[in-house]
Structure 1
Amino acid sequence: MKKKIIFIINPISGGLNKTFIPVLIDKYLDFQLFDAQIIYTAYSNHATLLAQEAIDNDFDIIVAVGGDGTINEVASVLESSGKTMAIIPCGSGNGLARTLGISLDNAKAITRINQLKTLKIDVGLLNNRKFVNMAGMGFDAHISAHFADSEKRGFIGYVKSTLKEIKSYKAQNYSINVNGGQIKRKAFMLSLANSSQYGNNAHISPTASVQDGLIDICIIKPFPLFIFPSLVIRMFTQTSAGSKYVEIIKAKKFIINRESEGPVHVDGEPVNMGKQLSFSVKHLALVLIV
């Protein structure tokens, strides 16, 4: 019996037009294995609604076609559902897809679905908001909020936002209850890594694993501005943990208290939250085709 598969396409992710995706699906998907349907998102969080409708309509495989934000919307519904998810990466950074070795060549990613090879991965919880790749607060959340309002999407737009904002951003004080103790740190940003990278092969926590049941708390301490290029190089060479400005703690659950409420990011998408933030992990809760 053929499996029911639905492709949920975000038409604007990564600043790329997606009109070519149905053509590739028609060419590379094995229709002897699948009955396929294609649907497009029309607004923020629409993919969440469409994924739930797909579950209700008994689709076997739900495919997120977009970036990490679209993947988050779909994964948040599919985790622990018994359904299988697949990814056609079409975002700015494609952090989770790169981590899992899913091809950025859309034709190859579609062809890979035909093999039905699956992997279970962890899902993080931030105040009950789910994330599968990365969450965080501080400068990266500030940039995510700034970037979300920008008309220029894609990697170049993200770089421009970063360079514009980094000179004026001020580090904040954080108190972290973790592994039976409390630590206090002043931090430029706190990144919570389920996978090792933000995207574009920029690895903030090279030893992070999507299957270990742990989140890596990556504390980026205040640094002189002239150090910033070397920190970037460390991320792209997977040596960030060797910097004296980076501290990494692994934990199953923890609580962060910060000076003030404000933006956090959940798989790159900004969300306003309060001063206290609780984190935990749902171990191997999401089934993905890889």
Structure 2
Amino acid sequence: MLYALHTKTNILFIINPISGGRGKLRIPDFIDKYLDKDRFSANFVFTEYIGHASELADEAAIKNFDVIVAAGGDGTINEVATKVLKHNIILGVLPLGSGNGLARFLTIPKNLRQAILAINAFKIDKIDTAVFNNKCFFNLAGMGFDAHLSSVFSGDKKRGLTGYIKLGLQEVFSYKAEEYLINIDGKDYKRKAFAISIANSSQYGNDVYISPNASVQDGLLDVCIIKPFPIWKLPVLSYIMLKGTAETSDMIEIIRGKNIKITRKNPGPVHVDGEPLQMDAEIEISINPLSLKVIIP
């Protein structure tokens, strides 16, 4: 739907200066060049530490900003969107991260000028959100190898896709699959898994698809179980995800549901929209259909 603007809309751009491994100090000038000033009254702020975007978004909502734009990657979007959801206002996205999984699903242009023009058009839609042990997520959350890798990657100064791939290749040789008890809408499954991803949208980012048919508007979460595999099959798994054929692969099992409980043997790392956290052995996950208002192209 299109929202009519009769007065200027207060819009705050929360910019993560290190998302994607690039400096962002000139971005406010670039936004100012292309943003429709007849429609928007814009403010800009840079994050200074993990969690700062969340604080800034909360403060902005209380100060009656109508739209808050997360200018960063999926982690920045998570911090901002959590507060946007809480205050029932509108989220905008400028995809400046290394993966941009949610932005890619929403077809928000990677080109910054085009993404700003999409904000000018101000077309609003609603998407599903999800909760992972009381922590909101919007794209993907999970445990197993990708959570382990996120935990290791967070300590690496060389951010970006290249650094992530390099670390992944180092870690994959020593990582061991784990046993999980999974309950999906009341039905029990016991699985040994290399990783389990809970997908609200279809991809990790960089067009790497874990659940090609997942949708942020279907009221369901996709539980994607990557089965244990011999290391020589790693290129096959990579090819499956890049080609978007996980649904038909015997290496990945996908089960859809609304209320999910996963129990593992020990507490350990998880990731929530790519950001590493430590959580208990038991994790509860649920979906909140069409609960977040987002500007889309």
Counterpart-to-counterpart distance in 2, 1:68 and 1:172: 26
Counterpart-to-counterpart distance in 2, 1:83 and 1:251: 27
Q: Per the alignment, in what secondary structure is the counterpart of residue 86 of structure 1?
A: strand
Counterpart-to-counterpart distance in 2, 1:80 and 1:119: 17
| Aligned residue number for residue 126 of structure 1 | 132
Counterpart-to-counterpart distance in 2, 1:25 and 1:221: 44
| Aligned residue number for residue 118 of structure 2 | 112
Counterpart-to-counterpart distance in 2, 1:196 and 1:143: 20
Gaps (5+ residues) in structure 1?
none
| Aligned residue number for residue 103 of structure 1 | 109
Q: CA deviation digits over 1:53-106, x for unaligned, max 9?
A: 110000011000000000000011111522101000100100000000000001
Q: Per the alignment, in what secondary structure is the counterpart of residue 277 of structure 2?
A: strand
Q: Are 1:216 and 2:216 an aligned pair? A: no
Q: CA deviation at 1:180?
A: 2.1
Asked if the contact 1:255/1:276 (under 8 Å) is kept, the reply is: yes
Asked if the contact 1:125/1:280 (under 8 Å) is kept, the reply is: yes
Number of aligned residues: 290
Counterpart-to-counterpart distance in 2, 1:19 and 1:81: 28
Counterpart-to-counterpart distance in 2, 1:145 and 1:29: 37
Match of 1:22 among 4, 9, 28: 28
Counterpart-to-counterpart distance in 1, 2:278 and 2:93: 27
| Aligned residue number for residue 188 of structure 2 | 182
State the TM-score, normalized to the length of structure 1. 0.99
| Aligned residue number for residue 18 of structure 2 | 12
Structure 1: 4+ residue segments shifted above 2 A:
none
Q: Are 1:68 and 2:74 an aligned pair? A: yes
Asked if the contact 1:80/1:286 (under 8 Å) is kept, the reply is: no
Residue 286 of structure 1 aligns to which amino acid in structure 2? L
Asked if the contact 1:86/1:113 (under 8 Å) is kept, the reply is: yes
Asked if the contact 1:80/1:285 (under 8 Å) is kept, the reply is: no
Structure 1 residues 43, 80: CA separation in 2 closer, same or farther (over 3 Å shift)?
Answer: closer
Counterpart-to-counterpart distance in 2, 1:76 and 1:264: 18
Counterpart-to-counterpart distance in 1, 2:62 and 2:50: 21
Q: CA deviation at 1:243?
A: 1.5
Q: Are 1:91 and 2:106 an aligned pair? A: no
Residue 89 of structure 2 aligns to which amino acid in structure 1? K
Residue 208 of structure 2 aligns to which amino acid in structure 1? A
The Cα RMSD (Å) is: 0.7
Q: Per the alignment, in what secondary structure is the counterpart of residue 150 of structure 1?
A: coil
| Aligned residue number for residue 247 of structure 1 | 253
Match of 2:39 among 18, 33, 37: 33
Residue 15 of structure 2 aligns to which amino acid in structure 1? I
Question: Greater CA deviation, 5-14 or 173-182?
Answer: 173-182
Q: CA deviation digits over 1:175-230, x for unaligned, max 9?
A: 01113221100000000000000000000000100011111000001001111101
Match of 1:202 among 208, 217, 241: 208
Residue 68 of structure 1 aligns to which amino acid in structure 2? D
Q: Per the alignment, in what secondary structure is the counterpart of residue 87 of structure 2?
A: coil
Match of 1:162 among 151, 157, 168: 168
| Aligned residue number for residue 3 of structure 2 | none
Question: Greater CA deviation, 169-178 or 13-22?
Answer: 13-22
Q: Per the alignment, in what secondary structure is the counterpart of residue 29 of structure 2?
A: helix
Counterpart-to-counterpart distance in 1, 2:111 and 2:105: 15
Counterpart-to-counterpart distance in 1, 2:115 and 2:130: 25
Match of 2:145 among 132, 139, 145: 139
Gaps (5+ residues) in structure 2?
1-6
Q: Per the alignment, in what secondary structure is the counterpart of residue 121 of structure 2?
A: coil
Q: Per the alignment, in what secondary structure is the counterpart of residue 210 of structure 1?
A: coil
Q: CA deviation digits over 1:108-151, x for unaligned, max 9?
A: 10111011101111111001100000000000000000000001
Structure 1 residues 45, 80: CA separation in 2 closer, same or farther (over 3 Å shift)?
Answer: closer
Q: CA deviation at 1:237?
A: 0.8
